[in-house]
Amino acid sequence: MSNSLVVAGIQANLFWENPKKNIAFFEEKILALDDTVDLVVLPEMFTSGFTMNPMSVAETINGNTISWMKSIAKKKNVAITGSIVIEEENQYYNRLFFVKPNGNFFTYDKKHTFTLAGENKAYKAGEKKIIVEYKGWKICPLICYDLRFPVWARNIENYDLLIYMANWPVARIKAWDTLLKARAIENMSYTIGVNRIGLDDNNYEYSGNSLIIDYLGQVIANAKDNKEEIIVAELLKTKQEKVRKKLGFLNDKDTFTLQ
């Protein structure tokens, strides 16, 4: 168990529906990271961009990208998380993978598919939230549109870090910034949001604005608008726990049942 967790988020322009180029790009960036980094967060659909043509890039759970994630995680001794397009039993999923250095991995299927873009028609929605334990930290990884639904992210598991990976367009970037801070504050949890930049083949523009935020909503690392950049921060579990104990806000949270 570690009090310190060093997280890095890679804000990047994605090559449209080109897993080979995207993997090569991220491999170079990950291998160049300082050895103190414990966890790397990649954008949503980091091998393809936010495509509604899943058949063009879909992989199986034993595909090239997962093999690459296992290999690079072991080589760099770092955990890696990001989402890709997965085909399983004739269904497509926007599936997040959290891969540990030892090769063990965990998956989460995006719960809230983005109906405005027709994601609900191209991909099957997930049903289960996951909590990953890594180096003594409890981590809740979620995807993009999930950010708009606070009940789904509610910290009933006493997690220590909340993750959002996204393809969040510049037209609604103020909501991204505001909601990330809100999720951090209401859950009293370190929060990292990693977004892409650039223009995709559907002419949607992305400005990035990736953030690492503490348990009180204070920004501790942020990426510049529309710039390829890596944000890094050291998170300290004891500081978070001390504030949680002092303020006690999580003790007063509502109980509820999701349906």
Provide the annotated active-site residues: 44, 110, 144
Read off the tokens for 231: 């944000």
Lookup result for tokens 């909503």: 217
Read off the tokens for 34: 């300082």
Question: What's the rounded Cα separation, in Å, for the pair 122 and 88?
Answer: 13
Read off the tokens for 206: 């992305």
Ranges of H-type helices in the chain? 19-31, 64-76, 119-122, 150-153, 173-187, 237-247
Question: What's the rounded Cα separation, in Å, for the pair 38 and 102?
Answer: 13
Closest CA to 65 of 131, 14, 33, 18: 18
Under 8 Å CB-to-CB from 34, ≥6 apart: which residues?
232
Q: What is the DSSP string of 182-200?
A: HHHHHHT-EEEEEE-EEE-
